[in-house]
Amino acid sequence: ENIRDWCISRQLWWGHQIPAWYVTLEDDILQELGAYNDHWVVARTEEEARDEANQRYSGKKFHLSRDPDVLDTWFSSGLFPLTVLGWPDDTEDLKAFYPTSVLETGHDILFFWVARMVMLGMKLGGDVPFSKIYLHPMIRDAHGRKMSKSLGNVIDPIEVINGISLEGLHKRLEGGNLDPKELAVAIEGQKKDFPNGIEECGADALRFALVSYTAQSDKINLDIQRVVGYRQWCNKLWNAVRFAMSKLGDNYTPPANLLPDALPFSCQWILSVLNKTISKTSKSLESYEFSQATTAVYSWWQYQLCDVFIEVIKPYFSGNDTKFDSERHAAQYTLWLCLDNGLRLLHPFMPFVTEELWQRLPSPNDSKREESIMIADYPSAIESWNNEEVESEMDVIESTVKSLRSLAKERRDRRPAFVLCQTPKLEKIINSHQLEITTLANLSSLTVFTDIEAAPPGYANTVVIKNLSVYLELQGINSAEAELAKAKKIDDLKNQIDRLEKTMNGPGYEKVPQEVRSKHAERLESLISSLKVLQLD
């Protein structure tokens, strides 16, 4: 219903000139272009148009004039899925790739472009041109405003990549056609948003930021400082590879294979979490959840590889101590595995820096190495790398380290610490991984004890998890902040205990399902135990 003709001609200076020629006969009464509707000839070239005119007006003299109008932009672009594959010729590309799978575009041109591609594709190609449509968000400024020249908030991606001074931003505005009042408003807007201009961020940081922003519904509030943060993160990648190359050496050749079970604890852990990251990233890409993919890759690189694994293995490479020979060799291989897989995993989001760094990594077999990371296989999950038990133990270790760090934020020197383990399992975990804890928490020593009455006097303490607490010697450090935090935590525990006891002693509690009551009782026991540890000082 309400279908109307689509006028596809436009009077513009650019575009595809309409492939129609008007035939003016020598004996026409009216000689103006378009005077007779039936005198139009449509053809690919002027030569073809002349041939058709000769057949139509055999024996008559005429001259041809091409229509000066151009095709509507959306008519030309609506043919895109067909014309790029050689249509109207029946090419091999057309047979192989039409219809295609995914169209990526913005929601603002759904009717203008997408609907017309579908219409023309079904009419001329016999099928819809694509089966899925991915709509990207529209970019706005950091305040959520639509980009406008008059506001001075238009962000040129080239200026983000290469950087530009505030004066340069002003000059771009002054070279436009804004009236004096709009120009003044725009310049003030630039001074407010970019007081120091825009830092050079590079294409990788910009690409990563834009992909990470795709979780923001249909709009992106682009904050340049976030892009700057990702540029700085690229330095982290460089430093990780630089560290690895210094520990691998010039002639390192990774072994063909090394069973995960034969690796040290920290190596097993980083491969297990890497494997999960590979799975998460691949699934996110397949389901078009690109921001989840960037979050997974970023978190692994930043918080697991750089912040934990690289720090944990540093003792293996200190000095010439032979007692760490086997751990050192395993750490070298694991580090190479992590960087090789991690760079390939990151490559779609940061193609330039990953290519540069990947080329510097040694290969186990030069004859099998691809010339470029862009044609190397994307990482696939390896089942044998999964190790839930190791990950669970590392969760305890990281929680312990986090608690120790929270007790002394100004930790410039190495200090002794004690850990209270009230179950055999926790005692075994902490004793087995003293090296990891002392390294990450920057401790001079770590002592494990199991009797709460043996807690060291004068030490700041906090609860890590149920049945696990840490004590740190803070003499010489301003511990007021730690004591305030401890007092706040004690008050919080008391409030939680009070609320839970009121619930458990309330009317009708006997009607609550047994499973819920059991959880409440277990929770209350844990809270009381934690409070006792904090108060015992």
Report the C-alpha gap between 456 and 533 in whole angstroms: 12
Q: What share of the chain is helix, strand, coil (3-state, %, to 5)?
A: 55, 15, 30
| Residues 105 and 132 sit within 8 Å (Cβ to Cβ) | no
What's the pLDDT at 323?
A: 79
What's the pLDDT at 364?
A: 77
CB atoms within 10 A of CB 189: 21
Q: Is the dihedral of CA 71, 76, 82, 85 positive or negative?
A: positive
Q: Read off the pLDDT band of 357 (50, 70, 90).
A: very high
What's the pLDDT at 87?
A: 93
Nearest to 235 by CA among 197, 206, 271, 201: 201
Q: Is pLDDT above 60 for 361?
A: yes
In 249-324, alpha helices (H) = 265-286, 290-299, 310-313
Q: Read off the pLDDT band of 176 (50, 70, 90).
A: confident
Q: Is pLDDT above 90 for 198?
A: yes
Q: Is pLDDT above 80 for 256?
A: no
The answer to whether residue 148 is domain-embedded is yes
Q: Read off the pLDDT band of 218 (50, 70, 90).
A: confident
Report the C-alpha gap between 357 and 339 in whole angstroms: 9
For 449-463, write each residue's pLDDT tens digit: 999 888 888 888 888
Residues 299 and 374 in one domain: yes
Q: Read off the pLDDT band of 412 (50, 70, 90).
A: low
Tokens 């529209």 belong to 138
What's the pLDDT at 410?
A: 60
DSSP SS3 for 142: coil
Residues 276 and 375 in one domain: yes
Q: Read off the pLDDT band of 261 (50, 70, 90).
A: confident
Report the C-alpha gap between 333 and 104 in whole angstroms: 40
Residues 410 and 528 in one domain: yes
The answer to whether residue 407 is domain-embedded is yes
Number of domains in the chain: 5
What's the pLDDT at 406?
A: 86
Q: Is pLDDT above 70 for 475?
A: no
What's the pLDDT at 525?
A: 80
| Residues 160 and 227 sit within 8 Å (Cβ to Cβ) | yes
CATH number at residue 262: 1.10.730.10
Q: Read off the pLDDT band of 536 (50, 70, 90).
A: low
Tokens 């077999």 belong to 365
Which one of 386, 415, 430 terminates a domain?
A: 386
Residues 190 and 286 in one domain: no
Report the C-alpha gap between 24 and 65 in whole angstroms: 8
The answer to whether residue 406 is domain-embedded is yes
For 465-474, write each residue's pLDDT tens digit: 989 999 998 7
Give the pairing type, strands 468-472 and 415-421: antiparallel
Residues 131 and 53 in one domain: no
Q: Is pLDDT above 80 for 217?
A: no
Report the C-alpha gap between 474 and 468 in whole angstroms: 19
Nearest to 40 by CA among 55, 53, 59: 53
The answer to whether residue 129 is domain-embedded is yes
What's the pLDDT at 482?
A: 63
Residues 518 and 458 in one domain: yes
Cα 294 to Cα 278, 286, 342, 345: the distances in Å are: 11, 13, 12, 10
Arithmetic mean of pLDDT over the chain? 90
Residues 127 and 160 in one domain: no
Longest dimension (CA), the chain: 118
Nearest to 304 by CA among 215, 391, 431, 178: 391
Q: Is pLDDT above 60 for 349?
A: yes
Concatenated DSSP letters of 455-499 = PPTT-EEEEEETTEEEEE--TTS--HHHHHHHHHHHHHHHHHHHH
The answer to whether residue 53 is domain-embedded is yes
458 or 65: which leads in pLDDT: 65
Q: Is the pTM of this model over 0.85?
A: no
Residues 339 and 274 in one domain: yes
Q: Is pLDDT above 60 for 476?
A: no
Give the whole-number percent of the chain exceeding pLDDT 70.
96
User: Cα dihedral angle (273, 274, 277, 282), rounded to 10 degrees?
Assistant: -140
Residue 114's domain spans which residues? 73-136
Give the pairing type, strands 130-136 and 138-140: unpaired
Q: Read off the pLDDT band of 94 (50, 70, 90).
A: very high
Q: Is pLDDT above 60 for 245?
A: yes
What's the pLDDT at 216?
A: 65
Report the C-alpha gap between 64 and 315 in whole angstroms: 85
Cα 208 to Cα 137, 143, 205, 230: the distances in Å are: 15, 20, 5, 7
Residues 247 and 359 in one domain: yes
| Residues 142 and 111 sit within 8 Å (Cβ to Cβ) | no
Which one of 359, 386, 413 terminates a domain?
A: 386
Cα 55 to Cα 19, 60, 222, 361, 436: the distances in Å are: 18, 10, 61, 69, 89
Residues 425 and 455 in one domain: yes
What's the pLDDT at 473?
A: 85
Residues 292 and 168 in one domain: no
| Residues 231 and 199 sit within 8 Å (Cβ to Cβ) | yes
For residue 159, the one-letter residue type is E
What's the pLDDT at 365?
A: 66
| Residues 21 and 68 sit within 8 Å (Cβ to Cβ) | no
What's the pLDDT at 411?
A: 58
Q: Burial of 177 by CB count in 10 Å (0-12 exposed, 13-18 middle, 19+ buried)?
A: exposed
The answer to whether residue 349 is domain-embedded is yes
The answer to whether residue 2 is domain-embedded is no
**β-sheet bridge partners, residue 469:** 420, 463
In 147-197, beta strands by DSSP E:
none
The answer to whether residue 469 is domain-embedded is yes
Residues 123 and 144 in one domain: no
For 477-505, write each residue's pLDDT tens digit: 555 666 777 788 788 888 888 888 888 88
In 368-524, beta strands by DSSP E:
415-421, 443-449, 460-465, 468-472
What's the pLDDT at 66?
A: 95
